[in-house]
């Protein structure tokens, strides 16, 4: 009897310990803009009736931002779930990059990255960031979480807007204005890691906006002129039929198993206040945020 009671208490403790975890939440959506990040439950949200489960605001004193970073993080473009949905990686065209622990909201790393638009977490606690503009030229940069003030690698990339780490392929993909690149990690265990460009493809439309992984072999590329499938094995682009007639898509998240599609599109100049979900079909309005990209839990 004592043993059963002890195991029961251990089970309850494990549940409480993981109350803040997001790894088992498949329909949580990270929405960002105006120096704020909100995680919402898409299943429980509809129209303007939004079920918010988490929030981070640069203006909240509890955010404990480093001095001056309240301005650098004023325009958060992308908020991405990383590390099994336990951390949030933010990039801001206001010039900042930040890694946040979702459960504690502690800032784990931050850097001044001019015109950062997209980032992803790489092996060895390093972060790849795509920049649209920089005083030294457009760039793809690598930072180490422990020393974020130092750029450990830099490559030229014109108008970088998308970065995706493909764990199964062990490759990094970076999207620029008119090209998609594939990189492999080189000397990654050293103090001077680098990326080697393996391939480069010209995208069949201009002004690349977003790069979204679907599975090991496929990605979606959104640009000013449309949304395209990219088959990595065949090295081919093809139209993404569900959004063939939708103009100016900014971000897209798609699950081919369920047919669930979540995307944003430019409606007020370059920004949108709306998130579109198909299967089920719904539109969620975020009046408080200038939404650009949205990301679902992995």
Contact 137, 156 (CB under 8 A): yes
Q: Comparing C-alpha atoms, which of 236, 294, 244, 290 is closest to residue 267?
A: 290
Which residue has tokens 């180490």?
144
The number of CA neighbours under 13 Å toward the Cβ of 29 is 29
Q: Which two tokens stand for residue 92?
A: 């801001």
Distance CA 131, CA 22 (A): 29
> Is pLDDT above 90 for 236?
yes
Please determine, for residue 15, whether its predicted confidence score (pLDDT) is greater than 50.
Answer: no
Q: What is the mean pLDDT of the chain?
A: 88
Instruction: Quote the CA–CA distance of 38 and 50 in Å, as a whole number.
Output: 10
**pLDDT in the model for residue 6:** 42
Q: Please tell me the total number of residues recorded for the chain in this structure.
A: 298
**Mean pLDDT, residues 5-15:** 38
Q: What is the pTM of this model?
A: 0.89
Give 117's pLDDT tier (boundaries 50, 70, 90): very high
- Alpha-carbon distance of 200 to 89, in angstroms, equals 26
Whether the Cβ atoms of residue 78 and residue 91 lie closer than 8 Å to each other: yes
Average pLDDT over residues 91-100: 92
pLDDT tens for residues 161-200?
Answer: 999 999 999 999 999 999 999 999 999 999 899 999 999 9
Cβ-based neighbour number of residue 193 at 10 Å: 18
Q: Mean of the pLDDT values across residues 39-63? A: 91
**Helices vs strands, H then E, count in the chain:** 2, 24
Quick one: which of 147, 143, 144 has its CA closest to 131? 143
**pLDDT value of residue 223:** 87
Rounded Cα distance between 290 and 271, Å, is 6
**Furthest CA-CA distance within the chain:** 69
List the Cα angle 138/139/140 in 5-degree steps.
160
Confidence of residue 17 (pLDDT cuts 50, 70, 90): very low
The whole-angstrom separation of Cα 103 and Cα 87 is 8
């Amino acid at each position: 009897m004592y043993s059963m009671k002890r195991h029961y208490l251990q089970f309850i403790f494990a549940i409480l310990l993981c109350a803040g975890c997001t790894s088992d939440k498949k329909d949580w959506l990270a929405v960002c803009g105006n120096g704020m990040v909100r995680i919402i439950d898409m299943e429980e949200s509809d129209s303007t009736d939004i079920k918010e489960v988490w929030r981070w605001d640069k203006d909240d004193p509890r955010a404990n931002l480093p001095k001056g970073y309240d301005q650098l993080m004023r325009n958060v473009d992308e908020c991405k779930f990383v590390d099994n949905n336990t951390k949030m990686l933010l990039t801001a065209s206001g010039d900042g990059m930040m890694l946040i622990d979702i459960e504690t909201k502690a800032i784990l790393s931050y850097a001044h990255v001019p015109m950062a638009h997209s980032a992803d977490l790489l092996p060895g606690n390093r972060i790849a960031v795509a920049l649209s503009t920089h005083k030294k030229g457009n760039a793809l940069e690598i930072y180490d979480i422990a020393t974020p003030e130092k750029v450990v690698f830099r490559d030229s990339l014109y108008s970088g807007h998308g970065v995706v780490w493909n764990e199964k392929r062990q490759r990094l993909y970076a999207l620029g204005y008119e090209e998609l690149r594939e990189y492999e990690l080189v000397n990654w265990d050293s103090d001077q890691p680098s990326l080697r460009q393996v391939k480069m493809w010209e995208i069949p439309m201009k002004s690349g906006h977003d790069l979204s992984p679907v599975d090991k072999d496929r990605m979606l590329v959104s640009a000013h002129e449309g949304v395209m499938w990219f088959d990595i094995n065949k090295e081919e682009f093809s139209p993404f039929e569900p959004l063939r007639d939708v103009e100016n898509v900014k971000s897209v998240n798609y699950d081919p198993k369920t047919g669930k599609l979540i995307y944003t599109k430019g409606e007020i100049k370059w920004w949108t206040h709306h998130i579109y979900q198909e299967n089920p079909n719904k539109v969620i309005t975020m009046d408080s945020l200038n939404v650009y990209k949205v990301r679902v839990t992995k």
